[in-house]
Structure formats: C-alpha cells, structure tokens
Amino acid sequence: MSSVWARIEPLLARVQKPARYIGCEDGAITPRHDEFGPAGPVAWLLAYPDTYEIGLPNQGLQILYEILNERDDAVAERTYAPWRDLDHLMRVNDVPLFSVESHRPAAEFDLLAFNLSAELVFTNLVNMIDLAGCPIHGADRAPGDPLVVIGGHAAFNPEPLADFVDAVVLGEGEEVVSEITEVVAAWKAEGRTDRETVLRHLSQVPGVYVPSMYEVRYDGPRIVAVEARYPDVPATVDKRTVADLGDWPYPKRPLAPLTEVVHDRLSVEVFRGCTRGCRFCQAGMITRPVRERPAEQVRTMVREGLRRTGYNEVSLTSLSTADFSDIEPVVHGILEDSASAPGSCGNTTINLPSLRVDAFTVGLADEVNNGRRSGLTFAPEAGSWRLRTVINKLITEDDLYGAVDSAFSQGWTRVKLYFLIGLPTETDADTLGIAELATRCAEIGRRHTGRASVTVSVGGFVPKPHTPFQWFGQNTAAELQRKIDLIRGATHKVKGVHVKWHDPEASVAEGIVSRGDRRLGRVIERVWRDGGTFQEWGEHFDLRRWTSALEAEGLSLEQYVYRHRTVDEVLPWAHLTAGLHQDFLWDDWQAALAESGVEDCRWTPCYDCGVCTGYGIEHVVASPVPPAGGSQGTGQDLERGGEVPVTLLARRTASEALGVGA
C-alpha cells in the first residue's frame, strides 16, 4: 500500500500540463491511508477515460465519489486518462495508472469503475485497464485484480466492452454503488477467493449486468438469443432510477480544480430526465421520468457551492433547463443571494445550458448573463418542420425566429444553431432548409446589428440504442459529407453565416460501437493495440484504424453502421432495458416515419412508454402545466394518451421560501 508519487514526480517535469496529475483540488477527500488492504473498507477508484480537463467536472463521478466516501465501509479516489506524453513515460518507466489523491497504483483498489459518457472513449478504457497492470480481458483476471465496472450513458449498450469489463451499472448510481460495496465487502471478508462468486452475486443486484453470466448465440452475422447462464441470473437487466432527486443533494463538496478544466464553474443539477420525446436523443429516452429538485434545495446548493469553491459562475444543469418549473424564482433567488454574499459584489453569472428555442428563454438568458454577451446557442436540429415532426423536435419557424430576434435585439451579436444531418427520411430539401433558416436568422440579426453572426454547427446523426431510431441505418461518411457540402454551397455567399461541422468519419466510428455487439471487442482491442487512444481528439483519430480492424475480424461497416435493422431482429442490447417497452419504441419509430409527433408526458397524458408504469415511479415536478413561452412540444394538435403519473412538489412552500410569487 504505497504512493508512487516519488516515481511520478520526475515524469511530471517532462509532460504538458502536469497540474492535472497532482489532485489537491478544493473538495477532494483525503483518503484514509491506514485503511487500505484486505481488512480495510472497499476501495473504489473512480475513473474517467478522457483527460482530466474533461473528466474532472463530470457530475456523476463527483456524486458517487462523495456518496462512497461518506460510507464507513468504502473509500473512493479518482483517476483520469493520462495524456499520451505521460502514458509513454509511464510505460517506459514502469509506473502504473495511479489515483490523483494518494497517488496509489490502480491495482491496489478493489474496484476500477469507469464513467462512460461517449463511445469513442472505449479504447481509452482498455488502455487504462492495461496501464493499471491488470489483464485487459475479464476472463484472464485473478481474484487479486480489481473488478472493472462501467456506468454512464454509453454503458447502456455495453456489449462491445463485454470482454473487458466485469460488471455494468445501468442507470443512476446513487443507490446501487452502496449495494455493490456491500457485495464486495462480503467477498473480501470471505477472503476474496474466486471471481466467479462475486460476479454471480453482483449479477443479482438490481441494475447490475454481468456480461460473463450471459451467453450470446449467433446465426451467421445475426444474434439468435442472449441467455442467462444460470437460473438465478435475471433474464433482463433493468436500469436504476432514484425516485426523488431531492433526497440526493450532491455534490455537497463540489470539486474546484487547481488547473483550468472545460466547465470551470459550479454545476447544480436542477432536474433529471426529459420527456420532450426527441426521438434521436438517447439521454432523454434513458433518463425518464422527469424528477425536479425542489427549488429551495437548488438555491441552497448554489449558495453553498459558490461559498465553498469561490467560483462566481454557476451552471444550472439538466437536459433542458428552461423547462424547470421554478426557473424564474430560482434565478432571482440566486442573484439576490449573490448580491448579499460578502466579497461577491453581486457579480455571479448563471449559466443555462441546453436552452429551449423560444423568446422566453432568451429573456431568461438576458437576466442571468451579467452583461456578458458571448453568444447564444439554439438547437432546432432539423431544417424543416416536416423533418422536425419526424424527430419530434417540435419547434416552429416562428419559435426560432422569435428567439433569434429577441437575442439580437437584446444585444447578442453571435448566435449558434445546432443541426443534425443524416436523420431518417431526410431529403436534400430538408438539408437545404438548414441553410435557409440560417440565412433568415442572419437577416434578422442584421436588422439589429451590422456585426450579426450566425454559426451553423452540423453533426452527423448516429442512431443510439434504447431510442425509436435504433433500427435506422446510419448515413455513410460520403453521404454526410455531401450534405455538409450542400449546406456550405448554399451559405458561402451569405453574409454573417458560418458553417462548422463534425468529422463524418468520426460519426462512422461512433456508429460502429454504438449499436455493436460482443464481436466488436476484438475490433476495439485491435484499434487500441494500433495506438488508437483519444479517438474523440481529431488529431489522434483515423477511421482507417477502425475499418482495417473490422476487416481483420471479418466484420463490416455495412453490418454495424449502415444497414436498417428489422423488427424481428434480436438487438445486441435486447436483454438490457431503460424501462421503455420495445413495442413503444417500435410504434414511435413508425409514428416518426408517418411524420406524427407526440406531446411531453410530464404535462399531458401518459402514452405508456413503460418507464413509470413498469418501475412504479412518477414524474416529480412543481408545475402541472407547461412553462411560459414557446410552443415546443406543446399546444400542437397531437395524439393524446391516458392519465399522467405525476407527483407535484410542494411548490407553494418553495416559492414562499424564495420570496417570489409562484
């Protein structure tokens, strides 16, 4: 049980940005050194398989870090992917992957638990397991090796990682990490004999999937069945969901790093889940239902968080923050608190990411930006109303133009518009619609300012598991490039419009693993052995690594990326569920093809997707009616469902506490 700091230190003098390896953040929890080892508490190493700058702000990791460290029977430290310069020096000097708190070798922990928020980091995960000095394949690990666990959104189809991981957590981790701790503690107490025993026990924890307990049967390229190997192993693994976010006011001690990171500010999650029903959006589908944090708690967490960290900026996070019932009183409350805090001079900035596209939202953004006009971002996602009904992103042109007009009229000079290309049923008319919307927005801008600029950001659509579009065949890189060129051609003479795009080849690589099966493990391993780490970093990405690995394994892009799936096909994740009925997803896919939208079930009747009804949980919202402003997803002439399962927060009390009328 020893720190390897003395061996790391000489290497840090030779790498870029060494501060990312020293830990020492405000809010970091100093581990109990004496308590490591076989008789000690369960030691978790929480890992983020990307750089420190990207990983440190991750809220999921920070939440579990605190919950585990609050337990008497657990300790948790953190680690991030070493950048390539340090990775190289560590290998040359035989220094293993280490934690940033006590700089202990990763292999001395009981669990190595990765948070996966995207698919392109999968090769980094393999690399970090290897750097830890642990066999990369679960099957080769000894009882003394750490248990490799994954969680996070990209773990909802863990099949491509089945060879490398011991267990997978589906859904929210707040409760399940404690249950896992107890299973591992019991295993340690019994002398940590064989891995099979602990894995078998883990497979019985709700929300935990142990890939090695399941057998996949194939018929040629097709999967015939995925079956549990033992009768006590569940046939289907369901996700975990916390019923009430108000019970989990974490992080209480937010981490403030010593070096600059991507979201260098306080974050407070205002609600979880989103039922706008955008059909391309995996995050919205897998996090249902909506659970709002009580307004009063949000205000307290912001006040305490700012006081603890010394930040003067806070992000109120969620999948669509303007939908938070009490957004206005909360914003006013935060501004009031910060004006009265000592030393602040009242200059706190509130950041509202994922804004809705409407004028109400712009008014809100105007209130909170503290005079800064850095640019506003909207995501209409598709270029025509027709295509927006297909994807169920029900924004009218009036919504968009109204939002853009109020943004420019209130002093913003830069507006950014996010679009997806390669969506189902997309025609060139839809694609060119993107150029038209942007052109019109720039015209609106010029009425207010000569400096008006509209940036169109275009990403290739990658169909994701557990969404209605999981059956759709992704566009080829060439097709995506052609569409990008169409947009560029239609806008290159337009004053004030700039087009940016995501590399279509990166979308293809993401597509390979997104809906992949276990056979992709060997492909991921080949890409990693070929030096393919940091694949989401353009300078280190090369699609040829992926295509030649596929070829070497006798697999094809056609099979994994481009082809449409059929209704009778066994999807690789068929035995894993986010609670959404397969029938619901298929019907919604058919409704998409019929250009028929659905409403937001938090305010309108339930259409029984299966989540609330199946799990006995409910929406937790402070308001039974849609928020002011905007027609997005509401007020349309759409099909109605049945009764809404919803719990209303005691809102009056919250608003009174905030001193603002509800």
Partner 1 sequence: MKIRVRSTKLGKVRFVGHRDMARIWDRTLRRLGIPVAFTQGFTPRPRIAFGLALPMGAESLAEYVDVEIDTHHVDGHDLDLDGLPVAWSELLPDGIDVTVVDVPDVPVESLQESVTSCTWELWSPEITGEDLAAAVALLDADELLVERERKRERRTDDIRPLLLDLRPDHTGHRLVAELATTGRALRPAELCTLAFPHVDPLDVRVLRTHQWTSHDDDRREVLPLPVSVAAPDREVGA
Query: Do 529 and 123 meet the contact criterion of CB atoms below 8 Å apart?
Result: no
Contact assessment for residue 157 and residue 573, using Cβ atoms and an 8 Å cutoff: yes
CB of 608 to ligand SF4, least distance (A): 5
Q: Which is nearer to partner 1, 45 or 480 (CB)?
A: 45
Reduced to 3 states (helix: H, G, I; strand: E, B; else coil), residue 644 is coil
Strands 271-272 and 291-292: antiparallel
Question: Looking at beta carbons only, is 98 or 360 nearer to partner 1?
Answer: 98
Q: How far apart are CA 167 and CA 183, in angstroms?
A: 13
Q: Output 336 or 503, the one with its CB closest to partner 1.
A: 336
Q: Assess contact for 154 and 284: CB atoms under 8 A.
A: no
How many residues at the interface with ligand SF4, by CB under 6 A?
A: 13
Q: How many Cβ atoms sit within 10 Å of the Cβ of residue 116? A: 25
Residues making up the chain, counted from first to last: 662
289 binds, among partner 1, ligand SF4, none (CB under 5 to 8 A by kind): ligand SF4
Rounded to a whole number of angstroms, the minimum distance from the CB of residue 93 to partner 1 is 13
Residue 587: partners with Cβ closer than 8 Å, 6 or more residues away? none
The residue assigned the tokens 């990693």 is: 528
- 601 binds, options ligand SF4, partner 1, none, Cβ within 5 to 8 A by partner type: ligand SF4
**Interatomic CA distance for residues 52 and 457, integer angstroms:** 26
**In the complex, least distance from residue 6 CB atom to partner 1, rounded to whole angstroms:** 7
275 binds ligand SF4 (CB under 6 A): yes
For residue 350, the minimal CB distance to partner 1 (Å) is 16
Residue 211, Cβ density class (10 Å: 0-12 exposed, 13-18 middle, ≥19 buried): buried
Q: How far is the CB of 514 from ligand SF4 (least distance, A)?
A: 23
Task: Report the residue number, 341 or 646, with the smaller CB distance to partner 1.
Answer: 341
Q: Which is nearer to ligand SF4, 147 or 606 (CB)?
A: 606
What lies within 8 Å, CB to CB, of 259 at 6+ separation is 17, 19, 20, 52, 53
Q: Name the binder of 644 from partner 1, ligand SF4, none, CB < 5-8 A by kind.
A: ligand SF4
Q: Which CB atom, from 434 or from 612, has the smaller least distance to ligand SF4?
A: 612
Cβ contact 462:514 at 8 Å = yes
Whichever of 28 and 644 has its CB closer to partner 1, that residue is: 28
We find the least distance from the C-beta atom of residue 624 to ligand SF4, in angstroms, to be: 13
Binding residues (CB under 8 A) for partner 1: these are 3, 5-6, 9-10, 12-14, 17-19, 21-26, 103, 256, 258-260, 264, 307-312, 341-345
The structure tokens listed for 561 are 């990326």
Binding mask 593-622 for ligand SF4 (x = CB under 6 A): --------x----xxxx-xxx---------
In one letter, which amino acid is 437? L
Residue 12 contact partner, candidates ligand SF4, partner 1, none, CB within 5 to 8 A by sort of partner: partner 1
Query: To the nearest whole angstrom, how small is the minimum distance from the Cβ of residue 610 to ligand SF4?
Result: 6
Say if strands 349-351 and 74-80 run parallel, antiparallel, or are unpaired.
unpaired
Q: Which is nearer to ligand SF4, 375 or 642 (CB)?
A: 642
Structure tokens at 659: 């001193």
CA-based Rg of the chain, rounded to a whole angstrom? 25
Closer by beta carbon to ligand SF4, 499 or else 621: 621
* Of residues 627-656, those binding ligand SF4 (CB under 6 A): 644-645
- Measured from the CB atom, the residue of 346 and 642 that comes closer to ligand SF4 is 642
- In the complex, the smallest distance separating the C-beta of residue 159 from ligand SF4, rounded to whole angstroms, is 25
Tokens of 218: 């194939």
Is the backbone of residue 216 left (phi > 0), alpha (psi -120 to 50) or beta? beta
| Closest CB 209 distance from ligand SF4, rounded Å | 22
CB 415 → partner 1: shortest distance, Å? 21
Residues 578, 597: Cα–Cα separation, whole Å: 22
Distance (Å, rounded) from C-alpha 457 to C-alpha 589? 26
Q: Return the one option of ligand SF4, partner 1, none that residue 262 interacts with (CB less than 5 to 8 A, by type).
A: none
Site residues for ligand SF4, window 557-576 (CB under 6 A)?
Answer: none
Distance CA 360, CA 322 (A): 9
Query: What gap in Å lies between CA 162 and CA 165, rounded to an integer?
Result: 6
Nearer to ligand SF4, 201 or 393 (CB): 393
Identity of the residue, 5 or 385, whose beta carbon is nearer to partner 1 in the bound complex:
5
The amino acid occupying position 236 is T
Least Å distance between CB 13 and partner 1?
5
Is the separation of the CB atoms in 457 and 419 below 8 Å? yes
Residue 6 contacts which entry, ligand SF4, partner 1, none (Cβ below 5-8 A, type-dependent): partner 1
Which positions from 282 through 311 interact with ligand SF4, judged by CB under 6 A?
288-289
At 597 the three-state DSSP class reads coil
Smallest distance from the beta carbon of 307 to ligand SF4, in angstroms? 36
Binding stretches for ligand SF4 (CB under 6 A): 275, 288-289, 601, 606-609, 611-613, 644-645
